[in-house]
Structure 1
Amino acid sequence: MTGTEDLLGSADVDPALAAAVLEIEQHIATGGWDQPARLYALVDTAEMVQREPALAAMMGLDSPSEQGSLTAVEQDQLDPTQLLEQVLEQIEWPAEVAGCAAVVERLVLPPGSDAEVPEDPAAAQEFARDHPDRQEVRIVAGATRHGATYCALRLRAHDEDTSVVGGVDLVPGLLTLLAATLDPADPPESPAAVRDTDRPTT
């Protein structure tokens, strides 16, 4: 992938969701690495303009070009003592929220190392930190009430905008958790669907 056009080009991609995820990724990237996890509500821009025209105008969202887009609204800072996955299990978004997105940094391991990862979460994190072939990755994942998903991944070792990888199912465990916050009647099968040592599907 070499640019935004490539990342948005697949027929399976919801362009509004992908654009919102990539916008978040670009914004977060300006702050560098070692940042805390973040959570965003995604709201329909047209509905936001109708409900809060003054706020929308201040944010520059009242242009006709914004029609059909999603606006990311960052939520309060997350408790650093809680894993993002634990936070997501406690969330139920109100009806006006069309989707949600999360940002998290993780250590990922190369293919074939899954069998070596200890079951204990603390031991698994230590194993990942000490693994010689570990990679640091920033994940921005989003989901909508209509079932669309999108992820953007940036490796710390390849920290360039042109090296960001995008796709609809790169981190399925995290996407499942995000989707469940939009449909609480359908909880994720595994509460521990994403761990520090998870390896995104690329």
Structure 2
Amino acid sequence: MTGPEDIGPDETGPEETGPDGIDSLDDALADPALAAAVHELELHAAADGWDQKSRLYALALTSDLVAKEPGLAAALGLDAASAEGSFTPIEQELDASVPFETVLASISWPDEVVGCAAVVERLVLPPDVDAAIPEDPEAALTFAQEHPLRQEVRIVAAAVRDGSTYSALRLRAHDDDTSVVGGADLVPELVELLRATLEGDSPEETRT
């Protein structure tokens, strides 16, 4: 899988793919609040169209935000009645010149951030072409961009400190809200990168 940051073909892609490059997984056991936050972010990203930069969000418990940051909560249109059992995403400023995965490797979050979410656009290829993908990252990018079976996909992935995860995927070739697929294990490698930022193992930079 490749994208604007020249990531290798398989670094953040879906683990299993179907006829269109992705496969919806049963998300019956997913955290409904996290799933709702991810789908809200996906709709927000969809409203801006394609060919967008990668985005990173801190996830705060809405109830905590209302209690601790009433001014910010009011600016976001939040109140105690809407706060229970939900997450509020707060977008982070990113350096667009730095590869997104490099940014993630430099981040750890303060305790009040209970989770994080990422929005990225990537190219996906069918699994049966994996053996033909060059090892060189630049060659792999060119290979994916020129492959006739490539699919452009928007990925929204999130992880929270209690271990819950959720992702939503939209293909550019099927760009409508009813075609978005979601599940807890769609993009395990990207989710693991997000989880690592919540474990406090990256002291170089802390975001709030």
| Smaller-chain TM-score bracket | 0.7 to 0.9
Alignment of 1:1-202 (within 5 A): 10-76=27-93, 78-185=94-201
Whose RCO is larger (CA < 8 A, sep 6+)?
Answer: 2
Residue 10 (structure 1) shift: 3.6
8 Å Cα contact 2:115-2:159 kept in structure 1 = yes
Other-structure match for 1:192: none
Structure 1 residue identity aligned to 2:100:
L
Deviates more, 1:11-20 or 1:174-183: 11-20
Residue 16 (structure 1) shift: 1.2
**Where do 5+ consecutive residues of structure 2 fail to align?**
1-23, 203-208
Instruction: Give distance in 2, aligned partners of 1:121 and 1:62.
Output: 47
Structure 2 residue identity aligned to 1:113:
V
Instruction: Give distance in 1, aligned partners of 2:195 and 2:146.
Output: 32
Runs of 4+ in 1 over 6 A off after TM superposition: none
Residue 52 (structure 1) shift: 1.1
Percent of residue pairs bearing the same amino acid type: 62
Count matched residues: 178
What TM-score comes out, normalization by structure 1 length? 0.84
Residue 54 (structure 1) shift: 2.3
Q: How large is the RMSD of aligned CA atoms in angstroms? A: 1.5
- SS of residue in 2 equivalent to 1:48: helix
Residues 74-112 of structure 1: per-residue CA shift (max 9 Å, x gap): 001x22222211110000011000100000000000121
8 Å Cα contact 2:27-2:182 kept in structure 1 = no
- SS of residue in 2 equivalent to 1:174: helix
Residue 53 (structure 1) shift: 1.2
What TM-score comes out, normalization by structure 2 length? 0.82
Residue 24 (structure 1) shift: 0.5
Other-structure match for 2:10: none
**Where do 5+ consecutive residues of structure 1 fail to align?**
1-6, 187-202
Instruction: Give distance in 2, aligned partners of 1:70 and 1:84.
Output: 23
Residue 65 (structure 1) shift: 3.0
- SS of residue in 2 equivalent to 1:113: helix
